[in-house]
Amino acid sequence: MVRAVAAVEMLATCALSRADSVAAFAHDGALSSWEVFGQQLVTGLSNGMIIALIAIGYTMVYGIIELINFAHGDLCMLGAFFALTVVGALGVDQWGGAGGTAGLVMVLVGTAAFCGSLNWSINWLAYRPLRKASKLSLLVSAIGASFILVNLGLFWGGLPMDVFAGGTSSAAPKAFPALVSSDPAAQIGDVIYSRTDFLVLCVTLPLMVALTYLVRYTKLGKAMRAVAQNPTAAALMGIDVERVIGATFFIGGALGGFATVVYSLYNQTVSFQMGYRMGMDAFIAAVLGGIGNLPGAVLGGLLIGLIRSMSDGYIEARWTNTVVFGILILILVFRPSGLLGAKLREKV
């Protein structure tokens, strides 16, 4: 009995001390000015655009073969390592001026091509043989692919190059050189819109517009929509379904490649474990917007970026992941079709 009382007392003290510290934090860290809010807004929107670009890769693949492509985040991680290797091998960070801009474009396009081809190959090797298998076998295979990519990242980080700190500690996070300075591009009060924020916008927005055009107005886009609706009927209409699926993986991967370079420039560090976090954020964004729905992925990405930065600012950074995963669970349980998605038919 005495023990039980002591236990209750202890739990109560713990709970109270938590409540105190939260109150104290809210008092110090509360956004008393709109400027802090504005800064969180800028960070949230920039991160959100990057998340959205990765989320498109999830949503396209899900739309077409109903696979949660678990390896997508880790594909982006390898893309970051590829970009870092190119930058280190060619010394792109030393080019400066117009050369620097050209170098940046080269790194962006190169990484996109790398990620696109890698995604295409993963589809060919790991998913294509399972077309007739159940959705769950496909998901398990994707988890396996994700772990293989993580391990490749671990190996890659051990390359004895300067950018990888000589490769002595392959698991440690690596610094990504600042190819774009983080000087303010615009400033209102204390809210800084930096050049990296501007870069994020310059890369992500045109890509989203181009993708929308591709899906809506080109022959390939029409084929993709057809396969997403009904692969068998599409095949009967003379569409090469495997080719369309391959193209979807390539495009999704390439967008992830662009996104990962921007992500690395924006956050200035890469590690072999970053793929899981990036991938989960993007996946949650895709689900939030309604998986399979392109505008939904963008909306979801922006929302997740904002939620993350506001939670960092208003709640506490260490609770941000809990908040984001909580949102994921709530959506999957109560509104699996997401914000913009069509009501899913249950296929029993």
Partner 1 sequence: MRAPRKMPWKMALALIALAMVPVVEPSLPQRLAISEPMTDVFVYAILGMALNVITGFTGLLNLGVAAFAAIGAYVFAISTCEIYPFQLGFWPALALTMAVGALAGFALGAPTLRVRGDYLAIVTLGFGEIVKDVLVNLDSITKGTQGINPLPPPTVFGAELGSRGQYWLLLAFVVVVFAGARSLERSRVGRAWLSIREDELASRAMGIRPDHAKMLAFATCASLAALAGALTASRLSSSGEPSNYDFQVSVLALCIVIVGGIGSVRGVLLGAIVMVGMNSIVLVKLTEMIGNTDSAGASRLAETHGMERVWVFITTWAQNVLLSPTNWKFLLFGLALVLMMMFRPQGILPPRAEHEAPPEDEGTGPAPAKGAAP
Contact set with partner 1 (CB under 8 A):
3, 6-7, 10-11, 14, 17-18, 66, 68, 126, 129-130, 132-141, 143-152, 154-155, 157-160, 166-168, 170, 276, 280, 283, 287, 318-319, 321-322, 325-326, 328-329, 332-333, 336, 346-348
Report how far residue 226's alpha carbon sits from residue 37's, in angstroms, rounded to the nearest whole number: 44
Of 145 and 310, which has the nearer Cβ to partner 1?
145
Of 212 and 273, which has the nearer Cβ to partner 1?
273
Specify whether the CB–CB gap between 149 and 276 falls below 8 A: no
User: Minimum distance from CB of 244 to partner 1 (Å)?
Assistant: 16
User: Minimum distance from CB of 206 to partner 1 (Å)?
Assistant: 31
Annotate 204-259 with DSSP letters as a single string.
HHHHHHHHHHHHHHSHHHHHHHHHHH-HHHHHHTT--HHHHHHHHHHHHHHHHHHH
In 3D space, the residue among 328, 145, 151, 178 whose CA is nearest the CA of residue 253 turns out to be: 145
Of 128 and 222, which has the nearer Cβ to partner 1?
128
User: Minimum distance from CB of 200 to partner 1 (Å)?
Assistant: 26
User: Minimum distance from CB of 86 to partner 1 (Å)?
Assistant: 16
Report how far residue 100's alpha carbon sits from residue 202's, in angstroms, rounded to the nearest whole number: 16
| Helical pair 219-229 and 195-217, crossing angle rounded to 10 deg | 80
User: Minimum distance from CB of 182 to partner 1 (Å)?
Assistant: 29
Q: Phi then psi for 345, rounded to 5 degrees?
A: -80, 135
SS3 339: coil
